[in-house]
Structure 1
Amino acid sequence: MSAEDRYERAARKAQAEGRVPALSVALHRADREPWVFTVGDSGDPGRPLNPDTRFRIGSITKTFTAVLVLQCRDEGLLDLDDPIAKHLDVPAHGDATVRRLLSHTSGFQREPYGDVWDTLVAPDDAGLIAELDRAERVLPNARRFHYSNLGFAVLGQLVAKLRGGTWATVLQERILDPLRLTATTLEPPAQAAVGYIVDAYSDAARPEPQTDLGGVGPAAQLWSTASDMATWASFLAHPELIDPDGKVLAAATLEEARFPATTANDTLWSVGWGLGLILVPHPKRVVDVGHDGAMPGFLAGAYGRRGNGIPDGLAVAVLGSSGTAGEINDLVPELLSLSAELDPAEIRPWRAAPPAPPQYRSILGPWWGEGSQFVFSWHGGALQARSAEAPADTPPAIFEPLAGQPDVLRTVSGREAGELLRLTRSSTGEVVTMHWATYRFARVQEGFDGGRASDGAS
């Protein structure tokens, strides 16, 4: 059975066991043609289910809003630690910072004021802000994770204010058009699937109403296809492949967004949250990056996978027309794992490369710091360091020299990221001592008084 046959079987199983009226799945990789599959019935007799059928993606919308906010930061329009009152005229909660809203740690209540899920009437843009004083801060700022659609709705209004337009127009101009996500829309098009609630005790399925979220749109409004969402998830995890020129967002900024800002549970650290992104860790330093979505009649998931041995650009999106089938979201990591297992990444051959620059060659090899051994090496055009006891898959620390100061290097990633490495040379120019994050490193094992460990007691 081929890899694609296994994918199809997994999708068919999820649709059947979850009793999902319509299921659309897409798997994206940089080294393969996209795999797209649909099974079920769109709910519209005149429009059979196909890869262009559109589904509500719910809170995956939040990842788009997060990218729009980060664009504003990169262009100097805001700082992530700015209080929202610096940019928006709000009647309350103006001390909430952009960063806390992005990471769901602002303490905002989950939804806007009122029973919007009873009335299915959401406030418009102006009403959302005007009624902010009627919403609670259910937790102190920065106390802990608390998911908030209201928080992301406010971030959408912030982007609109800074750009001088609406959230929808800014989204179209700054993300959807540049990435050619032509099937992603604010409103349901003619080829939209019908969303259902499926009865728990029979095979009956009741259509759910289509809901316009108005001012809450930046949290959950969008419709899309599995293909568009798999491409988007690949962008979130592998922007250097989808957006190599950084026209939408710099790869370094998305790396920042992917760093865990909080966890969802204080005792079970199985899910993390970055800046608008859900982070799901797996063994062997593998992590899924993306978001789930839920709206009446629809569930969705779109994640890219990063880590050792993971195929470049690997991402999966699963969209379904049931609001009750957890199998829709469970299928995403299953397909990601199947792809990595059944169709693994190409093993690239090792090739010789130019040697380290002369001024750094005397560094290469083992050094001792804090009583432990570290190995310094030159790979990929950069000085690196790794604890001799670290597992083989541990990312190394990587250093870059400061401009005009070849003997002072900044740790740009890995252990002690941000800290300086200072080199001390002998009269012949060889490096004889180093200080990394102020700790002394020597060629032999030393105590903190500088004496050799091998000398024993004096």
Structure 2
Amino acid sequence: MLPTTEFALLRRVATEQAGGRAPSLVAAVIRDASILWSGARGFVDDATPDEFTLYRIGSITKSLVAVVVMRLRDEGRLDLNDPLDKHVPGTTFGDATVGQLLSHAGGVGSESPGTWWERSPGGDWSDLSAELSGEDLKHRPGRRFHYSNLGYGALGELVARLRGRSWLDAVRAEVLDPLAMSRTTAQPNGPHARGLAVHPFADVVLPEPAYDAGAMAPAGQLWSCVRDLANWTAFVGGRTGEVLHPDTVAEMREAAVIDDSGPWTAGYGLGLQLVRVGGKRLAGHTGSMPGFLACTLIDPATQTGAVALTNTTSGVGILSLAADLISLADEHEPPLPQQWRPARIDKALLELTGLWHWGPAPYHLRILPNGWLDLAPAGGPGRASRFRPLDHDRWLGLDGYYAGETLTVHRDTAGTPHHLDLATFVFTRTPYDPSAPVPGGVDEAGWRA
């Protein structure tokens, strides 16, 4: 990036490291799946950390587990509306659905029973499930957002049972290896930062423990580095390779629940955190474990993302840092729009384009570069959606009011598009065309003064 941009980014990192008294802090800006800039402050073993230095990433682990769950869904092995009991029977929160657990809406307690799992060695699933009690369900499933590490412990066990191998082996084979995240591991292997707590009233540090969390490991066990997390950040932005269909990742980025503890600026999708900052809608996840804070965020609209990792228990505003790096990059060097060029499309689609009317309201139907359709009001606010083809003359709504609804093209005897049926709404070439099956019929006297 330009020297002025790089200095602004480094200054933001340096200010956070000094102000938060972080032993080390490393960060990067990603755009279009490439690292545009990376920088670090502080020291790891008397050396400046780099893109390959490992840090514990905490709850970013949850997002990786969620990808395997969504792969199982796409394969037909489970449904997001399945109760947990169908796949992992015997818990005290078995009525919570898979989708609710993914979005922290299952009402499950935030932590596992017993001692605080983040600072304690963990047993296997049988050990954990034996400790569960009626106290583990805090809210009616679906009632509200309630962040649950315990729920993701259960999702890790679900993955293990349906895949016939550990959750970690499934994540490694289905997510880490395809995304070339070779340094992301359950235990550090190679240069890594040590987790530290910084004394609140003196410039001294205390090493934090780093145990294997056992059955709770799917909630926050993994270690990673900036280089690997750059690939992951691009994945969240939609560059999904063969791991998931882009539509599935877009579904994961949809707000399933919102955090209504204050003005709505944060929500949660299916394994992904969502934040609204400065007009941007960012997706990713934060992570914290004793001695570590981590964050990865991306703006899918600009494909600009950021990663930030530090080895301190508290004191660093890791999410605001990542969001600020994205904003600085886009403000100093906004991405250029793709160059326009004529598209290769099915010419038969051209007869669908142009002016349509929902009652008296005019709409425009356009062909998008990928062969999808865009239906939007001709002017002013209204219901707008994109559609992708299902089969001949049938299209599936992708977003907006008509997400998941079917648009069907009806033709006259000559084969010319006559009207559109969209979730029982009929769109016609002229307002309230009497020759179309307008719901309720059209006054026989027609339009009048």
Task: Please give the TM-score of this superposition, normalised by the length of structure 1.
Answer: 0.87
| 1:436 alignment counterpart | 422
Shift of 1:205: 2.5
Q: Evaluate the alpha carbon distance shift between residue 302 and residue 365 of structure 1 in structure 2; reply closer, same or farther with a 3 A threshold.
A: same
Partner letter of residue 133 of structure 1? S
Question: Do the aligned partners of 1:152 and 1:218 also contact (CA within 8 Å) in 2?
Answer: yes
The one-character-per-residue Cα deviations of 1:81-130 (angstroms, maximum 9, x if unpaired) are 22222222424322222111111111111111113269734333321122
Take 1:118 and 1:237, find their aligned partners in 2: how far apart are those partners? 29
Q: Evaluate the alpha carbon distance shift between residue 266 and residue 449 of structure 1 in structure 2; reply closer, same or farther with a 3 A threshold.
A: farther
Question: How many residues are matched?
Answer: 440
Which among 387, 409, 431 is matched to residue 377 of structure 2? 387
Take 1:175 and 1:419, find their aligned partners in 2: how far apart are those partners? 31
Question: Do the aligned partners of 1:271 and 1:281 also contact (CA within 8 Å) in 2?
Answer: yes
The one-character-per-residue Cα deviations of 1:131-186 (angstroms, maximum 9, x if unpaired) are 22365201011111100000001111111122222222222222222222122110
Please state if 1:455 is matched with 2:433. no
Shift of 1:348: 2.4
Secondary structure (helix, strand or coil) at the match of 1:183 reads: coil
Which among 282, 288, 294 is matched to residue 288 of structure 2? 294
Secondary structure (helix, strand or coil) at the match of 1:300 reads: strand
Shift of 1:16: 1.2
The one-character-per-residue Cα deviations of 1:172-206 (angstroms, maximum 9, x if unpaired) are 22222222212211013352212222233332332
- Higher mean alpha-carbon deviation, 3-12 vs 145-154, is at 3-12
Task: Please give the TM-score of this superposition, normalised by the length of structure 2.
Answer: 0.89
| 1:343 alignment counterpart | 333
| 1:417 alignment counterpart | 403
Take 2:207 and 2:147, find their aligned partners in 1: how far apart are those partners? 27
Which among 326, 331, 337 is matched to residue 321 of structure 2? 331
| 2:366 alignment counterpart | 377
| 1:144 alignment counterpart | 144
Take 1:238 and 1:267, find their aligned partners in 2: how far apart are those partners? 29
Q: Evaluate the alpha carbon distance shift between residue 364 and residue 295 of structure 1 in structure 2; reply closer, same or farther with a 3 A threshold.
A: same
Percent of matched pairs sharing the same residue:
34
Which among 273, 278, 282 is matched to residue 278 of structure 1? 273
Consecutive unaligned residues in structure 2, runs of 5 or more? 433-437
Q: Evaluate the alpha carbon distance shift between residue 60 and residue 412 of structure 1 in structure 2; reply closer, same or farther with a 3 A threshold.
A: closer
Question: Do the aligned partners of 2:60 and 2:285 also contact (CA within 8 Å) in 1?
Answer: yes
Shift of 1:449: 4.5
Take 1:355 and 1:186, find their aligned partners in 2: how far apart are those partners? 47
Consecutive unaligned residues in structure 1, runs of 5 or more? none
Take 2:140 and 2:410, find their aligned partners in 1: how far apart are those partners? 48
Please state if 1:367 is matched with 2:356. yes
Take 1:152 and 1:122, find their aligned partners in 2: how far apart are those partners? 14
Question: Do the aligned partners of 1:398 and 1:414 also contact (CA within 8 Å) in 2?
Answer: no
Partner letter of residue 258 of structure 1? R
| 2:307 alignment counterpart | 317
Please state if 1:236 is matched with 2:269. no
| 1:10 alignment counterpart | 12
Shift of 1:41: 1.5
Q: Evaluate the alpha carbon distance shift between residue 86 and residue 433 of structure 1 in structure 2; reply closer, same or farther with a 3 A threshold.
A: closer
Secondary structure (helix, strand or coil) at the match of 2:300 reads: strand
CA RMSD of aligned residues (A): 2.7
Take 2:428 and 2:360, find their aligned partners in 1: how far apart are those partners? 10
